[in-house]
Amino acid sequence: MSEHESTYVPKTGFERWLDTRLPIIRFAADYATIPTPKNLNYWWTFGGILALCLVIQIVTGIVLVMHYTPNADLAFASVEHIMRDVRHGWMIRYIHSNGASMFFLAVYIHMLRGLYYGSYKAPREMIWILGVVLFLLMMATAFLGYVLPWGQMSFHGAVVITNLIGSIPIVGESITTWLWGGFAVDNPTLNRFFSLHYLLPFVIAGVVVLHLWALHAAGQNNPVGILIPQEQRSRDTVPFHPYYTVKDGFAIILFLMLFAVFVFFNPNALGHADNYIPANPLVTPAHIVPEWYLLPFYAMLRAVPDKFLGVLVMFGSIGLLFVLPWLDTSKVRSMRYRPAMRWFFFIFVLVAFMLGWCGAKAPTDQLIPGIETFQLFDGDLNSYLWLSRLLTLYYFAFFLIIMPWVGLRETPLPVPESISSPVLSGHGSVPTGAVADAEKKG
Amino acid sequence: MKLSVVKTLASGVAALALVGAAAPALASGGAEHPKEVPFSFEGPLGKFDQAQLQRGYKVYREVCSACHSMNLMSFRNLGQETGPFWDPKFKHNPNDNPYVKAIAAEYEVDDIDSETGEPIKRKATPADRFPSPYPNATAAAAANGGAAPPDLSVMAKARHGGARYIYSILTGYVNPPAGLHVGNNQHYNPYFPGDLTSAWHGDHKHTPKGGFIAMPQPLTAGQVTFDDGTKSTLEQQAKDVSAFIAWASDPKATERKQTGVAVMIFLALFAGLTYASYRRIWRGIAH
C-alpha cells in the first residue's frame, strides 16, 4: 500500500537535521506503519520467516568462513575441525547446514501460498517474478554450498550437475570446462564454487530489497484476494507494526522451534551419510541424490530419456513460473472462491511431493514390489520412471493447460466487496449484490 | 486462528515426515536392517557411558587400530568432556590428565630435531594425532588385498544406522548361503550394503541380502580383556567399540543435546509470551 501518507514527525533537533539530509528514519518509520490487510493468515508469516532464514545463513556462513579451508585436500577436515575444535562450531555448522533445509521448507510454503491466493496476478507480477529469481538464486547457492564440505555426495553431486551443462549442444563442453577450471571437478572447481557461494547470498539480499519494493508498490495480497478500495482502507487495514510484527514474531518462534529440533536433536537427519566420507573421484556412491529440496526437479530431469531434453524440462519447470501471471486466465485471485481450481491445486501439491519421492528412488525400482507388468518403451510400467513421467506431465499440464482452461470455464463463488464484509458476516453469507466484478476491482 | 497455526505447522511437519520417510529409501540396496541394539547415547537426552567408552577405546586400540586410522582424533580428545578419560579435576586443562599423557606416551611419532632439523622419533603428547597404521593410502590398500581400510574418525556419521550399523557388521559375519560364490579376500556379511546378484547361483527371486566385505571378522569372544572385569563376549566388544566410534564421530553430541533442551525451553516460553502479546494487541480487531 504504497501511497500512504507519511506520519513521521521528527522530534529532536538531530532528527529534524537528519530528515532534510537523509530521511532514513522517516523511511523506516513509514515502512513500519504501512497499512496491511487485517485478514492475513499464518501462511503470510513465511515472508518474515524467509527474511530471518537469509540473515541466519549469512551470519553463520560468515563465521564458518573464518574457520573453513577451501582446498580439496583440506576442506573435509576443516569442516570437522569446526565441529570438534571451534567453540560452538558444531552449532554454527549445524545451523548453517539445516538452515538451508529450513530456508527451502519456508520458501516452498511461501510459493504455494502465493499460488493458492493468486498473489502473482496483476498488479503483483513483478513481486512474483522477482520471487522466482530469488528461488533460482537460492537453488544455485544451496548447490554450491553443498559442494564445499568436499564429501562423496558433494563431489559426485557437483560432477552430475556440471555434466548436465555439458549436454548443451555446441557450447556445453566449453562451458563445463570453464566452470570446472580444468577437465574434471577438482580443486579449482571447489575454489570458484566457494567464491560464488559467498557472493550469491548478497545478490539474494539485493533482490529481496527489490522484492519488497515491488511488494509495497503493489500492496499486499490477502486471503480474500481483492484489492482494498481507498474508502475501505481504514476499516480493512492495520499498521504493520505492531499488528504484524507480533504475529510474524510468534510464527517465527514456532518455526525456530522446529529448526532447533533438527539442529540440536537430529542434525544429520536431512543430510546424506555419504557426505561424511571424504570425496574420492575413483569411487562413485551407489545412489547419487541431491538434498531433499531439489528432489522433485531431479525426478523431472531423470524422467526424460535424452539428457539435454531432461535439462530443458528441469529448467523449464521453473522457467514456466516466470510467465505464470499470464497463464492464469481467471479474474478471481484467491482459490478460496475457485471451487474447481482449488482441487487441481491440491493435486498439484500432492504431485510435487510425489515427484520428490520419485527423486529419492532409483528410476528402475519397482513402484509396487513384486508385481510383474510389461515393458513400455524404455522402462517397466511398474517403476518410478513411469510414475515420474506421469507426475511431470501433470506438473506441466497444471500450468500450461489446466490453469488457462479452468480459468475460462470455471464459475467462481461470490467474492466479497471488502475484507470487512466476510469478517463481519462470515463466509458464504455475502449478499448477491456483492458478487465480484473482478475487472472493476483490478 | 489456533487452527490455522496447527494447519500450517502440520503441513510443515508432513513435508518433513515425507523427507524422513524418503531417507531410508536412499540407503543402499539389499542389506539387512541393522540390529535393534540400544545405546545409552541415543535419543534426545541420551548420554555416553564413560566406562563403555573406555572399553571401546581399548578394543579400538588393540584390534581396529592395527589397520584403521582415526586421522581426526588427537590423544587430547580422550580427556575432553564426555570423552573416555574425562576427569573434572582437569577441566581447566584436560591435557594434564595423567591417563591421556600416559596413553600418548606409549606411541612414537615422527618429528624433526629442533636444533638440526634431522628427522627423529619422539614420544607422543596429548596434542598429537592418533598415528596411522600405514604411511599412506596406497600402502594401506596394498597390505589389505587392494581395499584400504577406511578411516574411522566419523564412521558413525558416514553410515546409515550409525553405531547400530557398526555393531551389526562386527557381529554379523555368518557362513555364506549355499549357492553364493565368495571370491578371494572377500567375506559375506548380510549387513554390508552390496549387490550379490552376479555371485548368486540360486533362485534369482531370492538373492541373499548383504554384500562382500574385504575385512575378515575382526572380533572374537575374549579377544580383548576388559580392565573393569566386564565379560568379553563378541557382542560386548562390538557394542563398546561401536559406542566409542559414535563418540569419536560426534564428540559434542552431549553438549549439543543439553544446549538443545535449554533452547527449547527458552523458545517455548518466548512463544507463549509472544502469543499473549499477540492476543492482547489484536483484541478488538475483527479478522
CB contact under 8 A, A264 and B263: yes
- By CA distance, what is B193's nearest residue in A? A286
Number of structural domains (chain A) is 2
Write down the pLDDT at residue A433. Answer: 41
Contacts for B160 with CB less than 8 Å, ≥ 6 apart: A273, B24, B26, B27, B28
Give yes or no for B44 touching A (CB within 8 A): yes
CA dist B139 to B131, B147, B148, B215, Å?
15, 10, 8, 16
Q: Work out the pLDDT band at B271, boundaries 50, 70, 90.
A: very high
- Model pLDDT, residue B206: 85
Question: Do residue A148 and residue A250 come from a single domain?
Answer: yes
pLDDT score for A435: 43
CA distances from A283 to A40, A155, A184, A347 (A): 52, 11, 15, 40
Residue A28 lies in a domain: no
Q: Are B209 and B191 in contact (CB under 8 A)?
A: no
Are the C-beta atoms of residues A84 and A75 closer than 8 Å to each other?
no
* Binary contact (A91, B256; C-beta < 8 A): yes
Q: CA-to-CA distance for A134 and A127, rounded, in angstroms? A: 10
Q: Which of A272, A288, A304 is the last residue of a domain?
A: A288
Indicate which CATH number applies to the domain containing A78. Answer: 1.20.810.10
Give the pLDDT confidence score for residue A60 in this predicted structure: 98
Compute the nearest-CA separation of B162 from chain A (Å): 9
Please report whether residue A423 resides in a domain: no
Residues A117 and A213 reside in one and the same domain: yes
Cβ contacts of B14 within 8 Å, gap of 6 or more: none
Burial of residue B135 (number of CB atoms within 10 Å: 0-12, 13-18, 19+): exposed
Chain A residue numbers touching B193 (CB-CB < 8 A): 286
Grid cell at residue B14: 508432513
A317 and A252 belong to one structural domain: no
pLDDT confidence of residue A422: 59
Q: Among residues A288, A323, A341, which one ends one of the domains?
A: A288
Q: What is the pLDDT of residue A374?
A: 79
Q: Where are the alpha helices (DSSP H) in A89-229?
A: 89-116, 125-147, 152-166, 172-180, 187-218
Q: Kindly state whether residues A283 and A302 are assigned to the same domain.
A: no
Give the mean model confidence (pLDDT) for residues A248-266. Answer: 98
B20 reaches A (C-beta below 8 A)? yes
Q: Considering the domain boundaries, does residue A416 fall inside one?
A: no
Q: What percent of chain A has pLDDT over 90?
A: 83
Same domain, A278 and A348: no
The pLDDT value recorded for residue A370 is 75
Q: Examine the domain organization and report whether A170 and A110 are in the same domain.
A: yes
Mean pLDDT of chain B: 90
Query: Are residues A278 and A327 located together in one domain of the fold?
Result: no
ipTM: 0.89
Quick check: is A238 in a domain?
Answer: yes
- Whether residue A421 is contained in a domain is answered as no
Band of pLDDT at residue B50, cut at 50, 70 and 90: very high
Residue A439's pLDDT is what? 39
Residue of B nearest to A255 (CA): B9
Whether residue A26 lies inside any domain: the answer is no
The mean pLDDT value for A71-92 works out to: 97
- Torsion region of A29: left, alpha or beta (phi above 0 gives left; psi -120 to 50 gives alpha): alpha
Looking at residue A1, what is its pLDDT? 44
Which of B267, B270, B287 is the closest to A423 by Cβ? Answer: B287
- CB < 8 Å to A356, chain B: 18-19, 22
Q: Which of residues 128-157 of B touch A (CB under 8 A)?
A: 150-151, 153-154, 157
Tell whether A245 and A368 lie within a shared domain: no
Q: How high is the pLDDT of residue A4?
A: 72
For the ranges A305-314, A365-374, B79-88, which has the lowest average pLDDT? Answer: A365-374
Chain B interface, best mutation among A38, A94, A254, by max B CB count within 10 A: A254
> B38, B235 in Cβ contact below 8 A?
no
Q: How far apart are CA B93 and CA A193, in angstroms?
A: 39
Q: What does the pLDDT look like over B168-207, one tens digit per residue? A: 999 999 999 999 999 888 999 999 998 898 899 888 878 8
Return the higher-pLDDT residue of A122 and A426.
Answer: A122
Shared domain for A350 and A254, answered yes or no, is no
Q: Report the b/e string of A50-88 with b at 16+ CB within 10 A.
A: bbbbbebbbebbebbeebbbbebeebbbbbbbbbbebee
Chain A CB contacts of B17 under 8 Å are none
Domain boundary among A242, A270, A288: A288
Instruction: Please compute the mean of the pLDDT values over residues B119-148 and round it to a whole number.
Output: 94
3-state secondary structure of B111: strand
Residue A40 belongs to a domain: no
The answer to whether residues A309 and A274 belong to one domain is no
pLDDT at A425 over 60: no
CB pairs under 8 A between A and B: 133
- Top residue of A40, A84, A103 to mutate, by most chain B CBs within 10 Å, is A84
Instruction: Give the domain range for residue A403.
Output: 296-411
Instruction: Give mean pLDDT, residues A416-431.
Output: 61
Task: Identify the DSSP state of B96.
Answer: G
For the cut 50, the answer to whether the pLDDT of residue A434 exceeds it is no
pTM of the model: 0.91
Measure the CA–CA gap between B10 and A434, rounded to whole angstroms: 34
Q: How far apart are CA B3 and CA B97, in angstroms?
A: 56
CB pair distance less than 8 Å for A360 and B22: yes
A14 found inside a domain: no
**A257, A277, A356 ranked by CB distance to B158: nearest:** A277
User: Do A217 and A178 fall into the same domain?
Assistant: yes
Nearest CA among B263, B8, B262, B277 for reference residue A257: B263
Q: For position A3, what pLDDT does the model report?
A: 58
DSSP annotation of A367 reads S
Q: Considering only residues A106 and B5, tell me which one the structure prediction assigns the higher pLDDT.
A: A106
pLDDT digits over B11-22, tens only? 555 545 444 444
Note the pLDDT tens digit of each residue in A192-225.
999 999 999 999 999 999 999 999 999 999 999 9
Predicted local confidence at residue B4, as pLDDT: 52
Residue the block writes with cell 557388521: B169
Judged by CB atoms closer than 8 Å, whether chains meet at B8 and A242 is answered as no
The whole-chain average pLDDT of chain A stands at: 92
What's the gap in Å between the CA of B10 and the closest CA on chain A?
A: 11
Cis bond upstream, residue A404 (ω within 30) = no
Question: A190 and A74 in one domain?
Answer: yes
